[in-house]
């Protein structure tokens, strides 16, 4: 009788009629419905997202009561060997895991379900596209201007962060590039595309020079030179001050027009 009482004290009937040791799965509320109580060990084997062996998590609850979060390549960690680093990490080491919801709360500047990529400031202010470096390397309107920041246009690069670093490619009402008829600067500019260029024009006072001619001129930030017929952007024809908030010229005395290329009679 004593042996039977001891057996009943240490063992109870759990889910699926398995016997589990008191103090183990039974005290863990049968793994809270988010795992399986293993008969041989009386321990919980949690489901994916609740602390399974597959989950990459800083902390896993023994009773499957807390969620784990998505993982991505760590932005910063210790190298494992030569040319081997950036192991998988919960929230990519750039966020905190909400154990109740299983979602990453990313640090400022990072986004994604695992905080696995950089966010674009102000979402490019509604005047640009937020794209990865790999994507940027394939865009003809970005390459002439920023080859040094797009892996020199190598779309097949194997650099680990090619799909993690994001930036703005700003919108423009004119075609951007180094080809004929294209301009080397977009209409909207700045790291968040919040500034706007004013209309461009040739300085009317420099009769023998066309400041807008960018033939053989190397694009700023890049390595490509302008083809014949390529244009430089000259705000207000150098005859006014551009308000980069509005994109409107404030022409100097004697000049007028939306791009300040017209001269008043007094200036002639």
Q: Which of 66-70, 84-88, 144-148, 189-193 has the lowest mean pLDDT?
A: 144-148
Query: Two tokens at 265?
Result: 């009679």
d(CA 15, CA 11): 13
Residue 56 has pLDDT above 50, yes or no: yes
Q: What is the pLDDT of residue 163?
A: 85
Section 166-185 average pLDDT: 92
Residue 16 has pLDDT above 50, yes or no: no
Q: What is the mean pLDDT of the chain?
A: 84
Residue 14 has pLDDT above 60, yes or no: no
Q: Which of 48-62, 118-132, 152-166 has the lowest mean pLDDT?
A: 152-166
Residue 186 has pLDDT above 70, yes or no: yes
Section 236-261 average pLDDT: 96
Q: What is the pLDDT of residue 233?
A: 95
Residue 198 has pLDDT above 90, yes or no: yes
Query: Residue 268's pLDDT band (boundaries 50, 70, 90)?
Result: low
Note the pTM of the prediction, 2 decimals.
Answer: 0.74
Residue 72 has pLDDT above 80, yes or no: yes
């Amino acid at each position: 009788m004593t042996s039977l009482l001891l057996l009943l004290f240490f063992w109870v009937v759990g889910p699926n009629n398995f016997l589990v040791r008191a103090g183990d799965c039974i005290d863990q509320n049968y793994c809270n419905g988010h795992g399986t109580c293993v008969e041989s060990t009386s321990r919980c084997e949690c489901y994916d997202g609740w602390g399974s062996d597959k989950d990459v998590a800083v902390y896993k609850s023994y009773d499957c009561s807390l969620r784990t979060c998505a993982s991505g390549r760590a932005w910063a960690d210790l190298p494992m060997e030569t040319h081997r680093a950036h192991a998988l990490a919960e929230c990519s080491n750039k966020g905190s895991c909400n154990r109740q919801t299983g979602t990453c709360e990313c640090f400022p500047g990072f986004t994604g379900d695992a905080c696995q990529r950089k966010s674009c400031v102000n979402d490019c202010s509604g005047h640009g596209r937020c794209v990865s470096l790999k994507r940027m390397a394939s865009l003809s309107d970005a390459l002439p201007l920023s080859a040094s920041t797009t892996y020199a246009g190598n779309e097949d690069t194997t650099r680990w962060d090619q799909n993690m670093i994001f930036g703005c490619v700003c919108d423009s009402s004119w075609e951007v590039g180094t080809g004929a008829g294209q301009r080397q600067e977009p209409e909207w500019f700045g790291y968040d595309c919040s500034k706007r260029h004013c209309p461009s024009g040739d300085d009317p006072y420099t009769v023998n020079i066309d400041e807008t001619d960018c033939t053989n001129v190397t694009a700023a930030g890049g390595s490509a030179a302008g083809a014949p017929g390529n244009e430089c952007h000259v705000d207000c024809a150098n005859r006014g001050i551009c308000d980069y908030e509005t994109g409107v010229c404030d022409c100097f005395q004697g000049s007028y027009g939306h791009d300040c290329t017209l001269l008043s009679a007094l200036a002639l």
